[in-house]
Amino acid sequence: MALAEAGARGRLLRWPRVLLFGDSITEYSFQENGWGAYLAERLVRKCDVVNRGISGYNTRWAKLILPRLITENTNADNVVAVTIFFGANDSALKELNPQQHVPLEEYAANLKSMVQYLKSVDITADRIILITPPPLQESAWEKACLAKGDKLNRCNATAGQYAQACVQVARECGTDVLDLWTLMQKDQDFSSYLSDGLHLSTKGNSFLAAQLWSRLGNKLSALPSLLPYWRDVDHTNPEASLL
C-alpha cells in the first residue's frame, strides 16, 4: 500500500501534549535526571511532553510569547496540562539586575494574564499548574555571581514574596499550584536541592518531578497508550490494527 493511500485510510494520530513553560529551570529539565525528562519517560506513548523553557526570561516577556505557542487554531484542545514556572528572574533585585527584574505586582498581573489567556483558548483551570520559584541559597549563588564578575543579585526573602504572589494568583484563578519555595524549605538544609544556589540539582529535580507527578499522575497515566502493543498487531493484516 502506498504511504499516501495509508494516510488517507487512517485517522490522523494526535498525541496529547503537556506543555512546560518557564525559564532556565524548565529549559534544563530535559537534561539527565531532569524533572521534564522524568515526566516524558512516564508518559511515553501517552502524550508528548513539550519543553518551552527559555533561559533568562521573566513573566513580562513570557506573556508576549505564550499566544505564539498555543492558539485555538493549533489544537489547544489537545493540551492536557500546562506548567507555568517563572519567578526566579522576576525576583532579581532591581538595583543589581534591572534587565530581568519585574516588580512584584506586575509579576502577579503577568501570571494572571497568562492563565486568563489559556482559559480564553479553552484550556481549563484544572489543566494549569503554576510553580513558584524555588528558594535561593544565597551563599552558593553569590559564588556563581562573583565568578561572572557580578554581585549577589537575588535574595531568598524576595523570592519568597514572589512565591506567595504566585500562590495567591493560583487561588484567585482556580488553578493548582506547586509552592516549591515553601516545600523545599521544610528541610532545614535545602541547599542540596540546588546546584548553584538557584538552579536545581539532581535531588531538586527528583523532588520537583515527584511533586508534579503526584498532581498529574492519576489523570495523565490513565490516558490510553497510542497504537496497539506489538503482540496485538495482526501481522497477517497490519492495516486492520494500525489504520
- Examine the pLDDT at 4 and tell me if it is beyond 70: no
Q: How confident is the model at residue 124 (pLDDT cuts 50, 70, 90)?
A: very high
pTM to 2 decimals? Answer: 0.92
- Examine the pLDDT at 8 and tell me if it is beyond 60: no
Query: How large is the average pLDDT for residues 33-62?
Result: 96
CA separation for the pair 209, 188 (Å, rounded):
20
Tell me, yes or no, whether 3 lies in a domain. Answer: no
Tell me, yes or no, whether 8 lies in a domain. Answer: no
C-alpha distances out from residue 159 to 73, 166, 237, Å: 36, 11, 59
Verify whether residue 199 is a known catalytic residue.
Answer: yes
Tell me, yes or no, whether 172 lies in a domain. Answer: yes
- Examine the pLDDT at 10 and tell me if it is beyond 80: no
Tell me, yes or no, whether 230 lies in a domain. Answer: no
Mean pLDDT of the chain: 92
Containing domain of residue 57, as a range?
Answer: 17-219
Tell me, yes or no, whether 192 lies in a domain. Answer: yes
CA separation for the pair 243, 238 (Å, rounded):
8
Tell me, yes or no, whether 233 lies in a domain. Answer: no
Catalytic pick from 113, 192, 196, 206?
196
Q: What pLDDT is stored for residue 229 in this prediction?
A: 87
Structural domains counted in the chain: 1
Tell me, yes or no, whether 65 lies in a domain. Answer: yes
- Other beta carbons within 10 angstroms of residue 176's beta carbon come to 17
Q: What pLDDT is stored for residue 142 in this prediction?
A: 87
CATH of the domain at 47: 3.40.50.1110
Tell me, yes or no, whether 224 lies in a domain. Answer: no
Are the beta carbons of 149 and 159 closer than 8 angstroms? no
H/E/C letters for each residue in 76-109? HHHEEEEEEECCCCCCCCCCCCCCCCCCHHHHHH
Verify whether residue 196 is a known catalytic residue.
Answer: yes
Catalytic pick from 23, 179, 195, 199?
199
Q: What pLDDT is stored for residue 12 in this prediction?
A: 80
